[in-house]
Chains A and B, each alone.
Chain A
């Protein structure tokens, strides 16, 4: 196992350190155990006020310019809430007819409940971020709505990559639909981070550094305090090369 790879044991160790720090910072991370196994995952829920960038909604849907830009995204979501069982494709049609006109309006924001899970992938020897989001009424966000909640700067980068980076997939431990940031590029962006840390003999928590890169894409910010003040001695131990 190379120093740049994360094995399961190291993953658990990194998670333990995050949990200790999270407790002191009241950041809300907890460890969920999977029944009948040693495996588990880090979990956190957060309320977020999400600003929807409406221009890109239009770009994504590829619909023609609509002359009646009245309805905000917010009200569009409420409207969809009543049509909870509608599949995406039908929703799109409905949106385009009435509520979807929102695409032309100015940005709006609404409060959403996000649930983040950090799992270990043995295939990619890396952590993976799973998440799902609900409106306060309890309706699950669609993949399209999740994309629209991503900051436009990130969104352009991600959508121009060959593989759509956010997809809906089965949570490998719970068997339920979650959104996931695809892990296949993780090693590419972690390598320079780890290399620099190694060269400068700096401590680094793989999972924490990784999270600080991928988390903000989906609104999960990692407070700087994780890396500065807490337990420098404890975090040192995570830097031991294998």
Chain B
């Protein structure tokens, strides 16, 4: 893995230039200037927007402020998806910066999970790590870790510390050589044209004949009818092991975005 560090770094430090604008219907004491931020693709919206909140609260009265949430062109943004997934899913065809609208009232209860504190994000993050490890190693690696190891993963993400995160995450990405791969590949195919948020199934890294599966194999099996596009665009012939190790989000899920409108 040491040789791959450049790729890991490039993925980790991917940024999306974003312009946050206050929703027009919010009551303010004076005009709110937009706020610009480089968002880390691998993180969560509610984890990296403290500054955005502070900026807009300066022009608002406390009694007009409820839980903050984000919207892009009429779609509430699910904070529990990695930022890179949200961008690829909703906005990748548009010009930069990504223009996000900030709301402080009318929280969309039927669309978004509440995010009252960072501990909720941490619980969500750990739950994703655990689920991915259930697929990769029958939960053995994550269960063998100590509480402080879990904390290290989370603190690495929270504080944007690449080395801290990967020192621990590499354990979750390893497997015994004789087994030749993970039990199953943790992946999610996100869909733009469906109520169902994503597809997630069991998929082995190798075929019964022992050949390494590729990304193209997965798409063929899971989603034979639709044209697909991957957020990070690895070649479809890329072997799974490398794709997963390099490109998965810190939640350990490889995320593939599927556009129902035939875009490629």
Q: Which A residues are within 8 Å of any B CB, using their own CB?
A: 34-37, 85-90, 122-124, 140, 142-143, 162-164, 167-170, 172-177, 182, 184
Contacts and interface: CB of A to CB of B under 8 A. Distances in A.
B131 A124 contact: yes
A163 B67 contact: no
Given A163-B123, A167-B123, A85 B105 contact: yes
B196 A34 contact: yes
Contacts of B139: 184
Nearest to A139: B109
Nearest to B69: A87
Contacts of A34: 196
Contacts, number: 79
A124 B134 contact: yes
A26 to B, nearest CB: 30
B198 A87 contact: no
20 contacts: A87-B67, A87-B116, A89-B117, A90-B65, A90-B67, A123-B131, A123-B134, A164-B123, A167-B123, A168-B113, A168-B114, A170-B78, A170-B80, A170-B113, A170-B197, A177-B111, A177-B114, A182-B127, A184-B130, A184-B131
B202 interface: yes
A108 to B, nearest CB: 24
Contacts of A184: 130-131, 134, 139
B116 A89 contact: yes
A90 to B, nearest CB: 6
Contacts of A90: 65-67
B85 to A, nearest CB: 13
- The interface size bin for chain B is 35 or more
A167 B117 CA distance: 13
What are the 5 tightest A-B residue pairs by CB atom distance, in nearest-first order?
Answer: A87-B67, A175-B197, A88-B116, A123-B131, A123-B134
Nearest to B105: A85
B130 A173 contact: no
A1 to B, nearest CB: 11
Contacts of B67: 86-90
B194 to A, nearest CB: 8
B110 interface: yes
Contacts of A36: 194
Interface in B87-130: 105-107, 109-114, 116-117, 123-124, 126-127, 130
Interface string B53-67: 000000000000111
B135 interface: yes
